[in-house]
Amino acid sequence: MIWMVLPSETYAQTEVKIGSYTGCSNTDILIPVEVEHFEDIAAFTIYIEVDTANFEYVGIENANEAFSSGDFVAGVNIHSQLVITWFTLPPNANLESGILCDIRILLKKETVNFSFQQNSEIVQSGFIIIENVVYSDGLLITLNSYNIDPISQTVLEESPASIEVLELPESINCQWQKMEDENWLDLEELSPYSGVSTSKLSIESVSLEMHDKFFRCLLSNDFCSDGSVESELFVTPNGVSEIIGQTNTVSVYPNPVHTQLNCHFNTSVLNAELKLVNSKGVSVMSKQLSDVFAGDEISLNINEIKAGLYILQLFSNGKKITDLKIMKT
């Protein structure tokens, strides 16, 4: 069969696109395929590369009535491509703009990229292939895959704090929650909280009751809802140095440090524990010491830890009493 190429100035620019969408893991989702200037169409074959590990193809639905004279045939081939084909006898189909069809998929996890392939073809009367079709790739993101910052943080009592869901589209609704007795409770727009229905939660003044509490944002669209990654809040009490009777409970050397960090205790600490956390509050090392006494020294081998700024935290009976900045080279 001989194909002809249609001059680009004969018709307006033909477009095929899939937008950006969000959904919940393990749920069925409809993904619209949109078109512009689909004029005098006799056939098309559209190849879309997808990651079949993250979704399961269910079928094609809601085919536009402009294409009722032919049959849609769709499926995933051995190359992990979603293939959509259509063919008809005259009269041909015309669609100035609208939804070509919906793709129903079962979203498993993470994200799904819809990438149109160059071997896609849209054919008009006389077996003429439309050249220079604009294909715009699509994206489907699970609600619980949006990043949250910080994952954990340590804040001085009565100081402000904030937690934010990063790069969140305006189409997604937010409701911040706090874990209480193993249940997620909605926060209200009351002091000390503000922004409870936005992507950024602000806490005007943290209290000791918030220590070791988990917060998350319940994200939702028109079809489903899912919780974000959890953020943990640690609260350092005011006047901790007075409680233990000495300002410098522990001193460290060398600092900056490359391989071995030495910790010298200036006072006794019951049921002591040391934790090293990174700039995002994530623990990268912990060491349970039981009871230590004034004059004791212990060493931490941090050779495997990446270079950067860290916080050495000292706990007594599970309660944090000291923060020290450490520079790892």
Give the pLDDT confidence score for residue 11 in this predicted structure: 58
Q: For each of the domains in the chain, give its residue range(s) and CATH number, in order of start.
A: 4-143 (2.60.40.680), 146-236 (2.60.40.10), 242-328 (2.60.40.3080)
Give the pLDDT confidence score for residue 247 in this predicted structure: 39
Give the pLDDT confidence score for residue 101 in this predicted structure: 95
Give the pLDDT confidence score for residue 37 in this predicted structure: 94
Q: How far is CA 257 from CA 288, 302, 305, 325, in A?
A: 21, 9, 11, 11
Give the pLDDT confidence score for residue 136 in this predicted structure: 97
Report the candidate in 255, 57, 260, 44 with the shortest Cα–Cα distance to residue 135. Answer: 44
Phi first, then psi: give them for residue 127, nearest 5 degrees: 55, 40
Alpha carbon 75 to its chain centroid, in Å, reads 29
In this structure, are residues 84 and 121 in contact, taking their beta carbons and an 8 Å threshold?
no
- Tokens found for residue 167: 């790069």
Give the pLDDT confidence score for residue 1 in this predicted structure: 45
Segments in the chain below pLDDT 50 = 1-9, 239-247
In this structure, are residues 319 and 273 in contact, taking their beta carbons and an 8 Å threshold?
no
Report how far residue 77's alpha carbon sits from residue 13's, in angstroms, rounded to the nearest whole number: 29
